Amino acid sequence: MVKIKICGIRRLEDIEIVNKYKPDYIGFVFADSKRKVSYELASQLKANLSPDIISVGVFVNESEDEILKLYADGIIDIAQLHGGESEDYIKYLKDNTNDKLKIIKAIEMSEDKDLSEYDNSQADYLLLDSGKGSGKTFDWRLIRKDLKKEFFLAGGINSNNIKNAIEEFNPFAIDLSSSLETDGYKDENKIKEIMEGIS
């Protein structure tokens, strides 16, 4: 069964909705974005999050120590990296958490992107996307059928194309954000439709 991640959680109302519909993961965005949350707000949201939902921190070239603090304080369970973070950067995060902090490495897909370079990455998962929060799909034909790592599929996925994405590529997880919003905020009806549609 494919897992679902709902990214860009930033209100207590959002937490109430996800607690009700139980996606596998939710994302707190700490990078510059209209969905950015502070340490304090993320702490409050995590305190109200159902314990069986995994929290993912979304970062772009953040200091390693800031990520480690959020992990140590129990605010994030996984780090999702969208910048130019190196293998040494990932190794530092792993070494300083006894390999307990799972890492998702986001890749902006394009025709000249060679996914084989990530086969031996220390990241636990890949996230294939069209760009940082673009809300657009990329050419799914660029996805290698022999990827060595499990991957999250992101970018422009909605109730109209999610079943096709799952059937054709069998991703580990689907990552959703803007398609579940109305006027820039999470919409319970859209979340309900997605969660009930894949169950």
Q: What is the pLDDT of residues 166-189, one digit of tens each?
A: 998 899 999 999 999 999 999 999
The per-residue pLDDT for 124 is 98
Q: Give 185's strand partners.
A: 182
Total structural domains within the chain = 1
Residue 134 has pLDDT above 60, yes or no: no
Check 7, 14, 124, 175 and give the catalytic one: 7
**pLDDT band at 141, cuts 50/70/90?**
confident
Give the phi and the psi of residue 86 in degrees, each rounded to 5. -85, 175
Residue 140 has pLDDT above 90, yes or no: no
pTM of the model: 0.94
- DSSP-derived letter for residue 27 is E
Domain residues for 152?
Answer: 3-197
More confident residue, 98 or 145: 98
Q: Identify which of 72-76, 145-149, 160-164 has the greatest average pLDDT.
A: 72-76
Residue 133 has pLDDT above 60, yes or no: no
Average pLDDT of the chain, as a whole number: 93
Q: Name the token pair of 108.
A: 């902006």
User: Which own/partner contact pairs does 159-163 have at CB distance under 8 Å and 24+ positions apart?
Assistant: 159/190, 159/193, 159/194, 159/197, 161/137, 162/194, 162/197, 162/198, 163/197, 163/198
**Residue 129 designated active-site:** yes
The per-residue pLDDT for 113 is 83
- The CATH number of residue 37's host domain is 3.20.20.70
Pick the range with the lowest mean pLDDT from 4-8, 75-79, 137-141, 171-175.
137-141
The per-residue pLDDT for 135 is 64
Check 24, 129, 139, 175 and give the catalytic one: 129
Residue 104 has pLDDT above 90, yes or no: yes
